[in-house]
Amino acid sequence: MNKLLPFSAGLTAILGFSVADAAEPSKQVNFIVVYLDDMGYGDLGITGATGYTTPNINRMAHEGVFFTHYVSPQAVCSASRAGLLTGCYPNRVGFSGALDHTSRMGIHAQEETIAENLKKAGYSTAIFGKWHLGSLPQFLPTRHGFDHFYGIPYSNDMWPNHPITKNYYPPLPLYDNEKVVQENPDQSQFTTWFTEKSVDFIRQHRSKPFFLYLAHPMPHVPLFVSNKFKGKSEQGLYGDVMMEIDWSIGQLLKTIHEEGLDENTLVIFTSDNGPWINYGNHAGSTGGLREGKGTSYEGGQRVPCLMRWRGTIPAGTVCHKLLTGMDILPTLSEIAGTSLPQQKIDGISVLPLMKGDTTVNPRKSFYYYYRRNSLEAVSNGNWKLVFAHKGRTYEGFLPGNNGTPGQANENAECKAALYDLRRDPGERYDVMEHYPEIVAELEALAGEARKELGDDLTGAEGTSRRKAGVAE
């Protein structure tokens, strides 16, 4: 772990108000997880974004730690969120892809979410924004550990004005707990509404421990921004949206400070997957990583992750060790002193890394699963072995413009290859012939995964996969 360099020479070179309780702030650690939708690695000021600024997110890096090698559990919405909230590979808990309004499945009642885990220690819990783990009543957040839910059940593009499947989706519902309060709400107010709800929640729960999950629907298409940020960037609508998200982070940090919670509140900021790059100027940047959302290449799964906890996380540090969204549940569990879920999880606590211990390496490997249950790649440290598979590619196609997507090939032949991610994070130079011993090691790791989780590419069934919930 290294000290954070100045932005100009350092990280940019890398890739409604409620009255608060009068009581004293709780001494237990509070948790805030901010989960963006489709933000790319290169979409922040600290990772090279141009045409707009993200000073509040930059501040999180200067006052906390920037994890440069964070990978999302999977490169698509529902699966990634299942991995985050359960601490499991999505395929272990029966998830893949992105659920829509027709789906009869959702998170199983026997799976323990972060919210349910923390409630064992008396935490108040809330989610504001996007859920996407089942839209039927038994799958809503309020049935899975969250005291409060204000937001949408699936992606914001699942509405009648979808550019490809117009009028396929019903009106987009906005929920207050389990009640639909609006249909096709004004999406330009999403970032503001969910931020205001979050601020109110913090103020109302300053004297008791809380877990806040702020799952912004942006910058997923269709892009919307409030009037206060419209036209403010030099990067068009996408830049405006990112500036408003940065404002949202600023509101959270301001509220934490005003309520005297700086030293006992851990704030985590990351994204569910990489950018949907065939949307062109309405998509983010991979920062030079290969491909994007919906692929197991780094552009699809490697995204920024920032953590701030004043007085505990050393300020202005950069960590290059591997971690994933699945590691958040066991980390919060360790901090809160709760027992881990009874069923097996895949996450590993990274608390020592957060505290600046450079001698530990909690997570050495990661399995890149996609589609229903295809093991497309495996990594160990900086080595990544890609297996031959058919997958999405955006290469060779002109991206779309102003909200209309360009084409992509969903069945491109992706060749087997070995990449040294330290020297080649863009995954352009296959070095398989030079390092047969590394290939053998990664093949052995893949074999372990196939025994446990299966693999559609090889026909392996796996012994430890659990089913998602299914409505009768």
Residue of 62, 69, 108, 132 marked active site: 132
Residue of 77, 305, 319, 414 marked active site: 77
User: In whole angstroms, what is the distance from residue 76 CA to residue 274 CA?
Assistant: 9
User: In whole angstroms, what is the distance from residue 257 CA to residue 252 CA?
Assistant: 9
User: Residue 470, class by beta-carbon neighbours within 10 Å (0-12 exposed, 13-18 middle, 19+ buried)?
Assistant: middle
Residue 62 CB coordination number (10 Å): 18
List Cα–Cα distances, 137 to 107, 148, 293, in angstroms: 11, 14, 29
Exposed e or buried b per residue across 227-238, where buried means at least 16 C-beta atoms within 10 angstroms of its C-beta: eebeeebebebb
- Helical residues (DSSP H) of 18-100, grouped into ranges: 55-63, 77-86
Strands (DSSP E) found in 320-372:
323-324, 365-370
User: In whole angstroms, what is the distance from residue 219 CA to residue 225 CA?
Assistant: 10
Exposed e or buried b per residue across 166-194, where buried means at least 16 C-beta atoms within 10 angstroms of its C-beta: eeebeebbbbeeeeeeeeebebeebbbbb
DSSP string, 22-40: SSPPPSSPEEEEEEESS--
**The residue type at 52:** Y
Active site residue 305: no
- Cα-to-chain-centroid distance, residue 416: 27
Closest listed residue to residue 43, CA positions, set 189, 190, 241:
241
Instruction: Report the chain's C-alpha Rg in angstroms.
Output: 21
Q: What is the H or E stretch that residue 336 is in?
A: helix 328-336
Active site residue 77: yes
* Residues assigned a catalytic role: 77, 132
